[in-house]
Amino acid sequence: MPDKTHRTTGQGPVAIFLKYFKWAFAVTVLGLILGFGLGWQQTGSLDGALTIFFICAVLAVLEISLSFDNAIVNANTLKNMTPVWQRRFLTWGILIAVFGMRIVFPLLIVVVAAGIGPGEALVLAATNPEAYAAIMSEAHLSIAAFGGTFLLMVGLGFFFDHEKDVHWVNWLERRMANYATVRGIEVALVLSVVLIFTSLHGGPDGNSFLISAVWGLLAFLLVEVLGGLLDRRAALTEGAKGGLGAFLYLEVLDASFSFDGVIGAFALSQNLFVIAIGL
């Protein structure tokens, strides 16, 4: 049977694929070349250059595999946004996510955890990657608590939805949807989980986990409130749906999904620049 896409557009599947992903492939190739060059500059040997090249490639695969769920959730929100805000998120939003989470965020962790300036953190990453990675590892619990709480609220918001008619686990999701109108049920469940994990940690770790988790919950609620206010105002003034509020929501959501990839990358390399290239 002739390819319908080819018949209607005059282009084959490969041509259409390259049309949309040519820049992604170009940036990937450029990143791998930069990784090879960085390895050569740091080690002065072919083996060292190939090692950094391989790490960058593995980090790229790691990032792609961890981003599938992120892409699906983003698409679910993007479909309700206006074309203008869809384009803004796929341009400005992606740039913010890439440079903010892969470069700025790891620096900010060290700035806050070590109590040093951004410039000092950058110098530390370039001259003493072992100490830099150690600070990142020490901050892992707080990061996981913040991001995990935010994502748990996102997940529960999906399941506690009385308007949802597509179910993966039918017997469970139908029961959850029945309780969707109960006010504050997601918050109550999240706080219960947070308190359980806080008691399991205990001591200073428990306090750090609790504080970070509460901040994660507060961040979700503030984004929800701010997004609702902004979208309501936009709808009243210009009939827009899913505008700035949805944009901000997606930015925080994307950041939360990126925590695991950024922190996990330090298991493969302690060099901030290698991680930034690979991710």
- Domains of the chain, by residue range, sit at 68-278
Instruction: Tell me how far apart the alpha carbons of residues 224 and 262 are, in angstroms, rounded to a whole number.
Output: 25
Could you give the maximum distance between any two Cα atoms of the chain, in Å?
Answer: 67
Side chain identity at residue 237, one-letter code:
T
Question: Residue 234 pLDDT more than 70?
Answer: no
Under 8 Å between Cβ of 273 and 125? yes
Structural tokens at position 146:
């913040």
Question: Residue 26 pLDDT more than 80?
Answer: yes
Nearest to 151 by CA among 257, 55, 23, 43: 257
φ/ψ (deg, to 5) at 38: -65, -40
121: confidence class by pLDDT, cuts 50, 70, 90: confident
Structural tokens at position 110:
């060290």
Strand positions, DSSP E, the chain = none
Q: For the residues 106-134, what does the mean pLDDT come to?
A: 77
**pLDDT, tens digit (0-9, with 9 covering 90-100), for 236-279:** 444 445 577 777 777 777 777 776 677 667 667 777 788 888 88
Q: What is the pLDDT, as a whole number, of residue 242?
A: 58
φ/ψ (deg, to 5) at 82: -70, 155
Instruction: Tell me how far apart the alpha carbons of residues 57 and 182 are, in angstroms, rounded to a whole number.
Output: 47
CA gyration radius for the chain?
22
Instruction: Tell me how far apart the alpha carbons of residues 119 and 130 are, in angstroms, rounded to a whole number.
Output: 17
Look-up of token digits 């901040």: 215
Structural tokens at position 246:
């949805």
33: confidence class by pLDDT, cuts 50, 70, 90: very high
Q: What is the pLDDT, as a whole number, of residue 263?
A: 65
**Of residues 15 and 232, which shows the higher confidence score?**
15
Q: What is the 3-state secondary structure (H, E, C) of 226-250?
A: HHHHHHHHHHHHHCCCCCHHHHHHH
